């Protein structure tokens, strides 16, 4: 399902990453699980240690009445990254409310490794 845009995240991230995927000459992608959120935070940390961007991976959909529904997303783990025709994609596994346990998914990145969107299976 998706693609989902996620939500910009502006709070400091003080947790240790639960999943890390390193990319040579870029840095590392980290998944954090802030205790006050129902979805994980994905960030790209540059090789110099600075955070280049942060996104809350919150699945959202608009209902027929115009309201927005959100789903919890838990235990997101990064598996691998591959180049595609529009940039890059990271394969993930996770548990999520509109899917189930150990579902697959993709995080889509632009050619410069900035966040584009994500999609999850069910």
* pLDDT, tens digit only, all 122 positions of the chain: 889 999 999 988 989 999 999 999 999 999 999 999 999 999 999 999 999 999 999 998 888 999 988 989 999 999 999 999 999 999 999 999 888 788 999 999 999 999 999 999 86
**DSSP strands (E only) in the chain:** 7-8, 19-23, 27-32, 41-46, 51-56, 60-62, 68-70, 73-84, 87-96, 103-109, 115-120
What per-residue confidence (pLDDT) applies to 106? Answer: 97
Q: What is the pTM of this model?
A: 0.91
**For residue 80, what pLDDT is reported?**
97
Q: What is the residue whose two structure tokens read 């639960």?
A: 18
Say if residues 32 and 41 touch (Cβ distance below 8 Å): yes
Q: Please give the angle made by the CA atoms of 97, 102 and 103, to the nearest 5 degrees.
A: 65
pLDDT of residue 99: 82
So what's the pLDDT on residue 2? 83
CA proximity to 117, closest of 12, 35, 24, 6: 6
- State the pLDDT at residue 85: 94
The torsion defined by the Cα of 78, 80, 81 and 82, in degrees rounded to 10, comes to -150
Taking the domains of the chain in order of start, what are their residue ranges? 7-120
Q: Environment class of residue 45 by beta-carbon count within 10 Å: exposed (0-12), middle (13-18) or buried (19+)?
A: buried
Q: What is the pLDDT of residue 122?
A: 64
Rounded to a whole number of angstroms, the distance between the first and last alpha carbons of the chain is 7
């Amino acid at each position: 399902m998706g693609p989902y845009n996620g939500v910009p995240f502006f709070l400091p991230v003080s947790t240790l990453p639960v999943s890390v995927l390193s990319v040579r000459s870029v840095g590392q992608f980290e998944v954090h699980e802030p205790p006050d959120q129902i979805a994980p935070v994905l960030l790209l940390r540059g090789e110099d240690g600075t955070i280049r961007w942060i996104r809350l991976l919150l699945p959202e959909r608009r209902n027929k009445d115009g309201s927005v529904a959100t789903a919890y997303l838990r235990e997101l783990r990064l598996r691998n990254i591959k180049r595609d025709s529009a940039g890059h994609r990271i394969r993930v596994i996770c548990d999520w409310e509109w899917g189930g346990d150990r579902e697959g998914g993709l995080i889509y990145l632009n050619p410069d490794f900035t966040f584009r969107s994500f999609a999850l299976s069910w």
